[in-house]
Amino acid sequence: MQKRQWIHGWLLVLPAMVFLLLFTHVPALTTIWNSFFSTPRGRRPSRFVGLDNYDRLFDDPVFWKVLGNNLWFALGTIPVSIALAIVMALFVNRAFTGRSLVRMAYFTPTVLPLIAVANIWLFFYTPGFGLIDQLLGAMGFGQTNLLGSPDTALAAIMAVTIWKEAGFFMIFYLAALQSIPPQLTEAARIEGADGWTIFRRVTFPLLMPTTLFVSINAVINSFRLVDHIFILTNGGPDNASSLLLFYIYETSFRYWDTAYGATLTVVMLALLCLLAIGQFFFFDRKVHYK
């Protein structure tokens, strides 16, 4: 009896495990393995090069540039999109006419494919006759070139990301808000607390598990969302808006330097692991699970 349960358990886990092994763990291990070899070219087979690829990585100015960009990208997009998500969730958690419509409007960016959306934003940003320039022009300002200038290209990419992400995170906050028992806020109100105090002392702490979940997702997304870069800037000008994953794609599938691509991927995997572990420890004391 005991034994049969054991088999049963393994059978239940098996499908998920097979796919995880096949598409996540095995590729991750081969990636690490490949990062110690040179790139095979048709006429030159790959050979063991030890840590050469990592040496090259430390001397590669583009790598440091995209890593820095990714840091700014994460710092710029995560707090803003989470804050926006909370504000939007609080707003649509009240009763008012047209509530479903507003909720839907906030969520729409999530539903649309990023590539399609990036093409629309490309038109917004177009110098001269794009939406932004037409609005600015009507107010008497001159032409801008947000995507074509190294000072603003990354910020323009970040704006699209925030717009895309905030609505998605709002859904989680909305669900969390609805699971907070109303007695708690009522009790706080009887004690004489004002709206801000209630949010700071009651609502926000109770949202912490959601914030943990959302922020881990946001961190992963800040390394994962690069689709719009292909459309908007292709990483330019001079890598000003290139991110780590975009650089990995370029190295592996444009330059076909698969070994160096693997090396960059190892760095990204390590970074993501560290960040996820760090977040769990950092939030651990502040998250109150019921």
Partner 1 sequence: MLAKLIKGAAASATLALASALPAQAVDLQFYFPVAVGGGAAETIEALTNEYTADHPGVNIDAVYAGSYQDTITKVITAARGGNAPQLSVALAVDMFTLIDEDLILPFDDFIKTDEDRAWLNSFYPAFMENSQTGGKTYGIPFQRSTPVLYWNKAAFAEAGLDPETPPATWEEMVEMGKKLTKKDANGNVTQWGVRIPSSGFPYWLFQGLTTENDVILANADGNKTNFDDPKVVEALEYMVSLSKDHGVMEPGIVEWGATPKAFFEGQAAMMWTTTGNLTNVRKNAPFDFGVGMLPANKRRGAPTGGGNFYLFKGTSDEQLSQAVDFIKWITAPEQSAKWTMATGYVAPRPATWETETMKQYAKDFPPALIARDQLEFAVAELSTYQNQRITQIFNDALAAAITGQKDAATALAEAQAKADAILADYR
By CB under 8 A, name the binding residues for partner 1. 41-43, 122, 126-129, 137, 140-143, 145, 147-150, 233-234, 236-239, 250, 253-257
* Distance of closest approach, residue 237 Cβ to partner 1, in angstroms: 4
**Residues sharing a CB contact under 8 Å with residue 23, sequence separation 6 or more, in sequence order:** none
* Distance of closest approach, residue 256 Cβ to partner 1, in angstroms: 7
C-beta closer to partner 1: residue 15 or 45: 45
C-beta closer to partner 1: residue 4 or 43: 43
Cβ(163)–Cβ(85) below 8 Å: no
Kindly tell me the sign of the dihedral angle through the C-alpha atoms of 269, 274, 277, 279. Answer: negative
* Distance of closest approach, residue 66 Cβ to partner 1, in angstroms: 12
* Distance of closest approach, residue 238 Cβ to partner 1, in angstroms: 4
C-beta closer to partner 1: residue 172 or 249: 249
* Distance of closest approach, residue 32 Cβ to partner 1, in angstroms: 21
Amino acid at 2: Q
C-beta closer to partner 1: residue 128 or 195: 128
* Distance of closest approach, residue 118 Cβ to partner 1, in angstroms: 12
C-beta closer to partner 1: residue 165 or 257: 257
DSSP 199-261: IIIIIHHHTHHHHHHHHHHHHHHHHH--HHHHHHTTT-STTTT--HHHHHHIIIIIS--HHHH
Q: Can you list the alpha helix ranges (DSSP code H) found in 112-181?
A: 114-125, 131-138, 153-178
- Minimal CA–CA distance to 119: which of 160, 80, 81? 160
Between CA 88 and CA 106 the distance in angstroms is 8
* Distance of closest approach, residue 27 Cβ to partner 1, in angstroms: 15
- Minimal CA–CA distance to 156: which of 66, 58, 77? 77
Residues 81, 221, 158: CA angle, nearest 5 degrees: 50
C-beta closer to partner 1: residue 56 or 224: 56
Peptide bond into 237 cis (omega under 30): yes
C-beta closer to partner 1: residue 129 or 282: 129
C-beta closer to partner 1: residue 86 or 153: 153
Cβ(133)–Cβ(126) below 8 Å: yes
C-alpha distance from residue 287 to each of 119, 204, 284 (Å)? 39, 10, 6
* Distance of closest approach, residue 122 Cβ to partner 1, in angstroms: 8
